[in-house]
Amino acid sequence: MKALEVKLVNDPNICAVCIEPIQGEGGVIIPHEGYLKGVRNLCTKHNVLMIADEIQTGFGRTGKMFACEWEDVRPDILVMGKSMSGGMLPVSGCLADNFIMDNIGPGDHGSTYGGNPLAMAVAKAAVETIVEEGMVENSQNMGELLKSELRKINSPLFKDVRGRGLFVGVELNNDLPVNGNHFAKILAAEGLLTKATHDYTIRLAPPLVITE
């Protein structure tokens, strides 16, 4: 936090700070409590936009609709994608207030697939389904169960189990003869699909409809 404050104080040309509320590819790294609020306060103080990259953490993945809600933080711009369409079509989006969006006029910004009516219909149906079927709440409940059961595994392989909702990382001890990629392949051979991140972390992200 101090490094960000120093940067904002010393560089008047910074227009925005873009962060992931939880680092996904970094190994499911959750910032310490109060960090997001601190970033929000610094951005407000220095008249800098706060941009939250919720492409991986949005739409219920972490047990909240968006991960910034864990600290009641409202970014100026919120970037979203992936589960926005339930995996049916490539769809991404950006949320922002009028004081930002009104600066973009017709023709200012081009997009190859922008305004795709099929993609918008799919996204609308997917988001409605997430809300109506209680997937956000299920993510929180099943995520707590998943973490509690993983922590019961008494294994010298495990260094840490962390996560929010159904966005869980299992960090392996870095003195093992295998890294995360090798371990993910071993698990795949046993029928468990995972994703290795940052060398020694296995990421578990089950579908939000998973049951106990």
Over residues 61-86, the pLDDT tens digits come to 999 999 999 999 999 999 998 888 88
Domain regions of the chain by residue span = 2-132, 135-204
175, 196, 170, 84 alpha-carbon torsion, rounded to 10° = 160
Whether pLDDT at 114 is above 80: no
| pLDDT value at residue 175 | 84
| pLDDT value at residue 88 | 85
Whether pLDDT at 194 is above 90: yes
Max Cα–Cα distance, the chain, nearest Å: 59
> Residues 7-63: pLDDT tens digits?
999 999 999 999 999 999 999 999 999 999 999 999 999 999 999 999 999 999 999
| CATH fold group of domain 2-132 | Aspartate Aminotransferase; domain 2 (3.40.640)
Q: Give the burial class of 198: count Cβ atoms within 10 A of its Cβ; 0-12 exposed, 13-18 middle, 19 or more buried.
A: middle
| Class (C level, CATH) for 135-204 | alpha beta
Q: What is the mean pLDDT of the chain?
A: 93
